[in-house]
Amino acid sequence: MGNERVYSRENKLEDIFKIKKPIIPTLHLLSLPGAPFYRGESMEELLEYTMKEVEILIACGVDGFIIENHGDIPFVKPDKFGYETVAAMSYIGTEIGKVVRKYGLPMGVNCLANAAIPALAIAKAIDAKFIRINQFVNAYVANEGLIEGLAGEILRYRSSIKGEGIAIFADSHVKHGSHAIVSDRPVEEQAKDSLFFCADVLICTGNRTGDAPTEEELSKIKVDSNVPVVVGSGITPENVERIMRTADGGIVASYFKKDGVWTNTVDRERTLRFMEQVWKIREKMKQAV
């Protein structure tokens, strides 16, 4: 069988979102129990904050969601990811799921930093369709220290919980870190590593939150025409058309916030302005067929 992937090459992005070029906002949850900036809010209060953002984003026409414990900064390495965080994210995700499923919108889970096994556990509990993993294969030096790819453990755990239907969205050449450890491997080879270890969708990012990737990096990561690549940072109404010429979708967080600052709440006008550009792109695509 050689180096061929040993599972279906179906387009998991389109299978999950049922639309071309989906836009997937990340819901930055407030600080959860156990995190340094958690101030004792009840689960209902934490949920209410995020649910208000969900309602705005749905009204503006987004295509799905990722729940993420971004308020838990500074993040810990996967083996230190707390049970209390899994419990809180499962509760919030379950309640959000009740709302978004009414609109036919899928959800994903990202547990920072790189806690893919907790993310799978949450995804299974809340019926999420995918998880995002910042370092699926290889290793790099992040803010949290040395972060190793745990693809073998991740896929074995997914199999053990009968979670094969949960897709793997894997960052390639992930932001917020040094890649000196694998500097002898070109970006495209690192992308191929993720595919060889059975990632379903690749994610291309800039150097940090809010930075757009270069056209060169995006093209290098798109190493297999059968595997979707989404851009995971820095998309704006001004660059979305350029990015979507190559990318198959986008994950958006900071731009949807007031003044484009990730710690602020979702801004309806900014979100709608962004989505209007996306709708124009989709209309052009239809006319070009």
Question: What pLDDT does 139 receive?
Answer: 87
Question: What pLDDT does 175 receive?
Answer: 53
Cis preceding linkage at 74, omega within 30: yes
Beta bridge partners of residue 231, listed in sequence order: 204, 250
Q: What is the pLDDT along the chain (289 residues), one digit of tens a residue?
A: 344 444 456 799 999 999 999 999 999 999 999 999 999 999 999 999 999 999 999 999 999 999 999 999 999 999 999 999 999 999 999 999 999 999 999 999 999 999 999 999 999 999 999 999 999 999 888 888 888 999 999 999 999 999 999 999 999 876 556 556 667 788 899 899 999 999 999 999 865 556 788 888 899 999 998 999 999 989 999 999 999 999 999 999 999 999 999 999 999 999 999 999 999 999 998 888 7
* Other C-beta atoms lying within 10 Å of the C-beta of residue 120: 24
Which pair of structure tokens corresponds to residue 150? Answer: 């745990």
253 with 62: CB under 8 angstroms?
Answer: no
**CATH number corresponding to 14-288:** 3.20.20.70
Q: Give the contacts of 194 (CB within 8 A, at least 6 positions apart).
A: 136, 137, 151, 170, 172, 202
Question: What pLDDT does 179 receive?
Answer: 57
Q: How many CA atoms lie within 13 A of 110 on its CB side?
A: 29
Query: Distance (Å, rounded) from C-alpha 271 to C-alpha 256?
Result: 5
pTM of the prediction? 0.92
Domain boundaries, the chain: 14-288
